[in-house]
Copies of this chain bind each other. A is one copy, B any other.
Amino acid sequence: MSTTLSARFSAVRQHTLKLAAPLSAEDQCVQSMPDASPTKWHLAHTSWFFENVVLLPYLPGYQVFDDSFAYLFNSYYEALGPRHPRPQRGLLTRPALSQVLAFREHVNAAMQQLLSKASHLPTEASALIELGLNHEQQHQELLLTDALHLLSCNPLLPAYDATFHAHPAHQDPLQWLSVHEGLQTVGRSMDDAAFAFDNESPSHQRYVQGFQIANRLVNCGEYLAFIQDGGYDNADLWLSEGRALVVQHGWQCPVYWLAPHDPRAPSDDWQVFGLKGVQALDPQAPVCHVSFYEACAFAQWAGARLPTEFEWEVAARLSGMHDLHGQAWQWTRSAYEPYPGFVPATGTVREYNGKFMVGQQVLRGSSLATPVQHSRDTYRNFFPPSARWQFTGLRLAKDF
């Protein structure tokens, strides 16, 4: 198993670099908004995690790469000391990207040294390494998300990677699948040996009223019909705060859509900016980069609603469900709250999940930007309802 962990460590760490490869040092340095982080910061912070959470406690004699990095690359761990303010991550032109890459090498080497003695590793060290790898996979997705946002702020709308491959989505007409009323078990059992985040547990029972759920995601063609029917201007469809955002920011379509004749990429038709650059709108592709408010308004317009996160998890067990993973995170009608009996992880990583459990909505599934081995049906992603820069779409549900 230690060989496995060592190999897995290498694979995950290399994959991060592969994702950064299409981006120049300039691209990797700039922060496009306070919510987004520079690629270089993601590269450094994921290494900071291993240095501070694994190497310093568990590798005797480990030498930190640079004393200042503890401060520069802490994200939000109050227990690990003060930290550079989040909105100023983009001001760190030094350390240079080359130094951050050297930091990664340094950490990798020390980690391989530690992993070579894996049979002697305490259980909690292994658990923290596994957590670190899952943490890095989360940042792999954020790296793409944040890079796309940065590129979207450039009037040239440059492609991240014109050859970026995404699996096609399910394209058949929508079907409604049914789940009947009754007690259901949801959440991750704490006895399950495989990795899961603390927020997925404990496994517990929910009483779920009967419902219907769509077998695929809402696609761009359907969403365009909503736009063309005046959906953004129909106050009746919107939650109050969503309506306020529509008015304040002039929202008229998903954040990366280009209306016909947009001066940045003139065309007679709708287009969508994404990792491959500007592309013609594909009516069959899942709609992406919508906020929770837009998802709710669309559902209202369609005579449906969003599923709760428990409905989603129960429905994921049905046959005939498509695109649970790998297309777009799916907003649910569930606020992000602790499960009954939730106990945060202990030690330095106790701040990992629990302290964010208010004011956010749960998303289920995973997206085209999620690393392949990082998806689970019990996975609980969460973002504020106004967030649009994540790879977020929706799946419809309705009552009987």
CB–CB B235/A154 < 8 A: no
Chain B residues with CB under 8 A of A239: 355-358
CB–CB A243/B91 < 8 A: no
Nearest neighbor of A336 in chain B, beta-carbon distance = B335
Q: Which one of A11-19, A167-175, A202-210, A322-330 is at the B interface?
A: A202-210
Nearest neighbor of A350 in chain B, beta-carbon distance = B236
Contact with B along A75-95 (1 / 0, CB 8 A): 010110000100010111111
CB–CB B334/A337 < 8 A: yes
Min CB distance, A102 to chain B, in Å? 15
CB–CB A361/B358 < 8 A: yes
The answer to whether the Cβ of A340 comes within 8 Å of any Cβ in the partner chain is: yes
CA of A158 to CA of B94, assembled, Å = 8
Nearest neighbor of A91 in chain B, beta-carbon distance = B153
Known: A71-B155, A155-B84. A359 touches B385 (CB 8 A): yes
CB–CB B29/A29 < 8 A: yes
Known: A153-B88, A358-B361. A78 touches B236 (CB 8 A): yes
The answer to whether the Cβ of A166 comes within 8 Å of any Cβ in the partner chain is: no
Chain B residues with CB under 8 A of A293: 358
Known: A29-B29, A68-B155, A333-B338. A150 touches B91 (CB 8 A): yes
The answer to whether the Cβ of A105 comes within 8 Å of any Cβ in the partner chain is: no
CA of A215 to CA of B358, assembled, Å = 26
The answer to whether the Cβ of A130 comes within 8 Å of any Cβ in the partner chain is: no
CA of A84 to CA of B211, assembled, Å = 41
Contact with B along A50-86 (1 / 0, CB 8 A): 0000000000000000001001100010110000100
Partner of A207, one of B79, B183, B242, B355: B183
Min CB distance, A98 to chain B, in Å? 9
Q: Which one of A20-28, A116-124, A268-276 is at the B interface?
A: A20-28
**Copies of chain A in the complex:** 4
CB–CB B241/A359 < 8 A: yes
Chain B residues with CB under 8 A of A193: none
Chain B residues with CB under 8 A of A153: 88, 91
Q: Output the residue of A30, A71, A72, A79 with the most chain B CB within 10 A.
A: A30
Chain B residues with CB under 8 A of A205: 207, 209
Q: List residues 356-381 of chain A with CB under 8 A from any CB of chain B.
A: 356-359, 361
Partner of A26, one of B29, B154, B355: B29
Contact with B along A316-354 (1 / 0, CB 8 A): 000000000000000001110110110000000010000
CA of A236 to CA of B79, assembled, Å = 8
State the 8 A-B residue pairs at the shortest beta-carbon distance, nearest first.
Answer: A335-B335, A78-B235, A26-B29, A209-B340, A26-B93, A27-B93, A240-B355, A91-B153
20 extra A-B contacts, CB within 8 A, seeds A32-B91, A79-B235: A24-B94, A25-B25, A25-B26, A26-B26, A26-B94, A30-B90, A30-B91, A72-B156, A78-B236, A84-B155, A90-B90, A92-B154, A93-B154, A205-B207, A205-B209, A207-B207, A240-B355, A241-B359, A293-B358, A341-B399
